[in-house]
Structure 1
């Protein structure tokens, strides 16, 4: 049943079109419309207003400059300055279709949906206002002030705080200066979790540089108690920064202390140095690397030429950096070294020092060993190069992984 009231009514019996003006009020079981002027076609059972209208149903209020109503289908089309107000959010759109029975809105053109804790924007999509679920397309993004999710297509369920984005996905954390890109993402508001896959890349922005990391899957976890995040990279993780590169099967990054944790066959490169271990931790001050901690089967190598390598081996190691440059290496347990002595300003090897000592401190200058301090009862031998066979110039388990080292951010996709 549809009822219409107004101050003045004009009706054409031939066309069956009625024009009503002056405090117009239209009601059906789902809604109430108020406007100054309304045109109603009794033949088509349609109504429209051209000078602004206001519609109220059980939960929503909608205003627009122009509106067209199909009574048989319970559908409205709105155009120009469309505003839909719900207790939980406000939607603004250029063009909107709204079904009064299903309470589903379809929007065409630039549209924003602003809630207390989140904001959504797109140029095409739909919103089920009754069940609080939506699909956003074309330049879609969803943000909760600190983190945003964008993609060609974004699905969102406000009830459970679940979002999904497909194609050209960007997950941005403005507080911690990180963003993750890929082609598929899922976000869980209540758990503080996000996943990105399909060509996933994490970018950590520093003041003078950026770190780029790729893996099969990237995961972001928000810790409310510390207002920080843990970023996890699973399977074939590889990263590039101008002064530091690395790879391992899995990598974790904690924004609270700017520490990178590397697991399962990790390798890192800094200038001329390569470091490997069972597990590696990279600590920074948020801008430059301060120290690298190697745990179990630690091995550090730097190349003088294709036949000569300075090598340091031990149970655990700590590499200390100054302004991003390796300056000192401490070895704790089962220490072994091979050190090539050269003329100053030359790479010609004059002697080779092989030593065994439980704990060792190695001082680095210009990316080469400058001097070595043996802490306790060293066993060292100095060899002329001709007296040390080539096969004895390498410590056990020596592996030089130059072919795996990324030379640019494009190389992080090659495993």
Structure 2
């Protein structure tokens, strides 16, 4: 090794008190300049040039002796002891006011237990075991831990080592497949913990992390980062995690989220303040109402979330909400999951679907709600199903049934087993109800097997209409025409000019067509053969007030968006009965 140069010695003096032993350097620079035979620049040195104008009295320099380094035979595992293992040259100072240290030059080696430290030159404070090391500094522990630096200040009583780069090359810590780089690295040997405070980078086989502050424990492989933390993948996976504080383990490559964080991948963006991110498996487990936004624009949130970025599978527990931006809907539940690649979802435990494409939101509940894509060789379509005990509510529309499905391709909604729909004072029920939508607005509704329409007009009086098949057509959401075919039966109380009712009309036919204006009956036509009676109201017996299939299900009707979760006993009993069409055939 080459001896230190004079400019290096002066530079070290200027660095002052930066290290744990830096305050000792002022005297050391002078001592080294003279000991190494550098031309004297201090007045009073015997070899200094004399000024022609002034002759200063001579100053006797301190006496220094170059001695042969010796290696003590003491047990190298003596607790707290630092040993000088070797050096090419060593100087000592016997002046009364000198600081008690030795100047070591060339192939310097120290040892503490199983830790070895190497450098070009050093100050060794033998009594306390501290030292300052300069040039090609290297610290080794076994074959697993290495630290490389330009300078090292080691305070043995505190077991604190501070490593410095030289402005061009940074300090490097290598622990097997982990590498940490920074300008200044503090290493607490007692706690086996290293840290930096002015920016650094930690890289392992999977990821690269940068931050202003960072800690790393070689023993546990745990790391902690604070301020402007960025975690990136080193391989082909594309993700970036940004936060202000992060815990990380270089063995299992799991990041622990403890502050508001954002994870951006090629499949989704994750927002969380509490959770675990397994960067190797590309999965996250999140808490405290975290949020996942997929590339489709859908969002998934819940009290607890699990998300697999590779498969696009998300799972949520506790107040789950899955939004579908394209369909302007949201799915809620106590538990739910989402398959982004398959564009499918599932919800249960107070499951509720919100459809808000119109001014008024539709709220729909079923014990289980699913959405999925049905594919065939020639086509595919998105389907939503809800079952059993389905109930829905909107300001202008309420309903229930045992199961419900919506087929996106056909814009059709199917209500099965005891479907009932209310709108204002009008109630419709049947065996099956099919509803067609045009831009989220009802276009037509069909009851293909059996249908019954009842309208409450006051007290115990109801207009009623039934038949084997019904087709209702709507304009701007209002009923415009109703066509009934097969076994048509009708009971009507026409309103007089003074808005009173004084007669009941009962009639039967094969076909019926009714025209409406703003859902108000304007004209009714029955054909080809019509049988009927007109009975003054004051002569009418209650036996002719109702058709055989009449039933008014007001007690089952949802009252608001939260009442859809309350399934009354009457609804439970109804769903156990045979379909209305079956009851009708028994009556006939």
Number of matched residues?
414
Alpha-carbon spacing, 1:307–1:109, altered in 2? closer, same or farther (3 Å): same
In the TM superposition, 1:6-405 aligns within 5 A as: 6-22=149-165, 23-86=170-233, 87-145=237-295, 146-222=297-373, 229-256=382-409, 258-349=411-502, 351-365=503-517, 369-405=521-557
Structure showing the higher strand proportion among its residues:
1
The answer (yes or no) to whether the contact 1:194–1:219 under 8 Å persists in 2 is yes
- 1:239 Cα deviation after fit: 1.0
Higher relative contact order (Cα pairs below 8 Å, separated by 6+ residues)? 1
Output one character per residue of 1:192-239: Cα deviation in whole Å (capped at 9) or x when no partner: 321112222211113421111122122122469989743221111111
Separation of aligned partners in 2, 1:150 and 1:255: 25
Larger Rg over CA atoms: 2
- 1:127 Cα deviation after fit: 1.4
Separation of aligned partners in 2, 1:29 and 1:334: 86
The answer (yes or no) to whether the contact 2:490–2:508 under 8 Å persists in 1 is yes
Separation of aligned partners in 1, 2:438 and 2:271: 36
- 1:41 Cα deviation after fit: 1.5
Separation of aligned partners in 1, 2:518 and 2:148: 89
- 1:319 Cα deviation after fit: 1.4
SS in 1 for 2:180: strand
Alpha-carbon spacing, 1:202–1:353, altered in 2? closer, same or farther (3 Å): same
The answer (yes or no) to whether the contact 1:62–1:83 under 8 Å persists in 2 is yes
* Equivalent residue number for residue 2 of structure 1: 145
SS in 2 for 1:399: coil
Alpha-carbon spacing, 1:227–1:169, altered in 2? closer, same or farther (3 Å): farther
Output one character per residue of 1:82-132: Cα deviation in whole Å (capped at 9) or x when no partner: 111122311112211111111111110101111112111110011122222
SS in 1 for 2:543: helix
Runs (5+) with no aligned partner, structure 2: 1-143, 568-588
Alpha-carbon spacing, 1:119–1:385, altered in 2? closer, same or farther (3 Å): same
- 1:381 Cα deviation after fit: 2.8
TM-score by length of 1: 0.93
Runs (5+) with no aligned partner, structure 1: none
- 1:320 Cα deviation after fit: 1.8
Alpha-carbon spacing, 1:16–1:414, altered in 2? closer, same or farther (3 Å): closer
The answer (yes or no) to whether the contact 2:267–2:309 under 8 Å persists in 1 is no
Alpha-carbon spacing, 1:68–1:345, altered in 2? closer, same or farther (3 Å): farther
TM-score by length of 2: 0.67
- 1:400 Cα deviation after fit: 0.8
The answer (yes or no) to whether the contact 2:206–2:253 under 8 Å persists in 1 is no
- 1:160 Cα deviation after fit: 3.7
- The farther-off stretch of 356-365 and 49-58 is 356-365
The answer (yes or no) to whether the contact 1:277–1:296 under 8 Å persists in 2 is yes
Structure 1 runs of 4+ with >6 Å offset: 223-228
